[in-house]
Amino acid sequence: MSSAVSAAPARTFEVRHVQLARALFAALAAIMVTFSPDHSAEVGLAVFSGWAIATALVLLFAVWLVYPAGQRAASIALGVPTLAAGMIAGLPGIRSTTLFFVLVIAWALLTGVLELVFGLRRRATDEFARDGILAGSLTIALGVGLLLVNPAYSLEYFIAEAGQSFVLTGITIGVGLFGGYAAVIAVFLGIAGFSPRRGATPAEAASAPAPSSVTDAAGDHA
């Protein structure tokens, strides 16, 4: 008699769903920054807070809904500091230009390095690892870019067509950089989420049954 091997149950949520959810919230943040006439620290931190908390919840829920035991470290490592940064940015009484730069730079460098390292460590076994490598690199680039901006920078300029003067400040540049980062991440993760995958992910591999060693007796005698 042949041995019957039951197939592992398919997961309702997959890694691509995490990517698409992250892309959605990043797109919303990019839209809010782009169409807001106010690029102050208060607005920048408010947008960052909403985006960070939503993204963190996606990552933390994925710990139970997407990844099996042994594959959850990256999602936890990214979700916890992102949630903490979002909660700090959500406190209206402490919002300032200094807090925006310190908080977003610290978050970007920490989570960017973590996502890059986890991606590099899994690149030989996980086809989603290269997405983490690029996402981590983009996040590090955001942190480095903000480090190059002087928070005290201020430049007044006049536009004749508009008939008025404007002031370009460090915080305006900083919030704009975050909005640009959110837009790029949204496009990248959206493409990654919709891209077809050829092999099994670590989550699928971990839940797949081992090959049966029982030989079909009828097949041997045929």
pLDDT tens-digit map of 150-166: 999 888 876 767 667 77
Output Rg (C-alpha) for the chain, integer angstroms.
23
pLDDT tens for residues 181-217? 999 999 999 999 998 865 444 444 444 444 444 334 4
Query: Residue 196: what pLDDT?
Result: 80
Locate the DSSP E strands across 95-181: 154-159, 164-169
pTM over 0.85: no
CA 122 – CA 133 distance, rounded (Å): 10
Tokens describing residue 138: 């983009």
